[in-house]
Structures are given as C-alpha cells and as structure tokens.
Chain A
Amino acid sequence: GESVGLHLPTLSVQEGDNSIINCAYSNSASDYFIWYKQESGKGPQFIIDIRSNMDKRQGQRVTVLLNKTVKHLSLQIAATQPGDSAVYFCAELQGGGADGLTFGKGTHLIIQP
C-alpha cells in the first residue's frame, strides 16, 4: 500500500486566504520530506523540503510543518494567489536509495476569485 496519502483530493480556497494542505505518512523511518507543485501540463516543481530533525521550515509564503508524533506533514500557503492553483504532492524518503522517494496522489488546490 501507499505510505504517503493526503486527506483531501481537492481543496478550494478564496484568493487571499491561507491554504493548508495535509499529508499523512506511515513510515516512522522516513527522514526527509518534500512538497512539489504541479501545474497543468507541466512537471512537478520543488517547493520546500524538511528533514526529520526539524518541526517547521519557512519559505517565501510557504511553511511546512512536520509532526513526527502523528506522522503528519502540512504545507501552508499564505495569501493564496491565482498562480497557486495546482496539484500539490508530498513525498517522503524512506531511508537511502532513489526508490525510497514515495509520492502521494496529490491535492488539487483551486483558488476562487
């Protein structure tokens, strides 16, 4: 089974509001997590990453939170803009090796005007 999953397949928010996209993982040995954004017809684009020795990491308008106790990862996007509309994937690295990078199915973020 897939170890990385998302709570909601689609998330609709008003432009200017904050968005929170959630991700659950099941492998407590995972030590590296990444969020990717994929716009229609394009390849995934790196947003932000976090290692398991951190709880929070901030980027430009984005924050990733990691709760290792409940194995939960979230991506917060502040003041969402139309350009934020995309599918967001979380991915985890379950220890070394390329095939350890497991992607979830994605959450489609829709920005309402």
Chain B
Amino acid sequence: GAGVSQSPSNKVTEKGKDVELRCDPISGHTALYWYRQRLGQGLEFLIYFQGNSAPDKSGLPSDRFSAERTGESVSTLTIQRTQQEDSAVYLCASSLRGVGTGELFFGEGSRLTVL
C-alpha cells in the first residue's frame, strides 16, 4: 500500500513476555519515528531513525525497549519483559526527510495490551 503499515494491529500478551511490533514506512521516506500513545493521552516520542545515521533513542522509557531499522525500510520495536504500564497504542510514522521539512505520515498503530 501507499501508507505506513503496522503489524500486528492488536496484541494481547502476558506480563513478562517479549513483544515485537513492526512498521513498514512509505517507500522512499528516510525518516522513521516511533511514538507511544496511552489511552486518552497525547503522543510520547520514543525513537527516531534518519537514513543511515545513529538513531535518536532519547525517548525510550527503559532498557526493556529497543528498536531496529534495516536501511531505510522496515523497523521493529521490541519490548522485553512487558509490564502492564506498557499497554498503549504504538504509532509509527515516516517522513520524506525529517521533522520540519514536511509532514509525518502515521500508521494506524499497534494496540498492545499487557495482562
């Protein structure tokens, strides 16, 4: 498709399990972002990839969170030993060149529920 694609759309897991969330950005977009959105809240920045530069990980809440990106394509966000407070919608966005140069295109998110 032409938009940002995320999978799974919904994930229910047990506390302590690891989860992987996937993001397929728009083809040709060099910038990719992960945000977390708790129920009824705004977007919380997690991590940013720009081309082949080292990612900006300043928003990751703990060392249980990590993300990778293969070149300028797919990214995976991994949460290890999930906790109930990790329950949220995880949104991925991509941009042609980065913030300030144009809009971010968001996927529909992966809703994570930790029981």
Contact = CB atoms under 8 A, between A and B. Distances in A.
A104 B44 CA distance: 10
B65 interface: no
B21 interface: no
A49 B95 CA distance: 14
A56 interface: no
A93 B100 contact: yes
Interface residues of B, number: 27
Interface in B93-107: 93, 98-100, 103-107
A70 B50 CA distance: 33
Contacts of A24: none
Contacts, number: 64
B99 A103 contact: no
A99 B106 contact: no
Contacts of B43: 44, 89, 91, 103
B59 interface: yes
Contacts of B99: 32, 93, 97-98, 100-101
A61 interface: no
Interface of A: 2, 31-32, 34, 36, 41-46, 49, 89, 91, 93, 96-106
Interface of B: 4, 31, 33, 35, 40-45, 48, 50, 56, 58-59, 91, 93, 98-100, 103-109
10 contacts: A34-B104, A43-B4, A43-B91, A43-B109, A98-B56, A99-B48, A99-B59, A101-B104, A103-B44, A106-B41
Given A43-B4, A98-B99, 16 more contacts: A42-B109, A43-B91, A43-B93, A43-B106, A44-B43, A45-B106, A89-B43, A96-B100, A97-B99, A98-B31, A98-B45, A98-B48, A98-B50, A100-B99, A103-B43, A106-B41
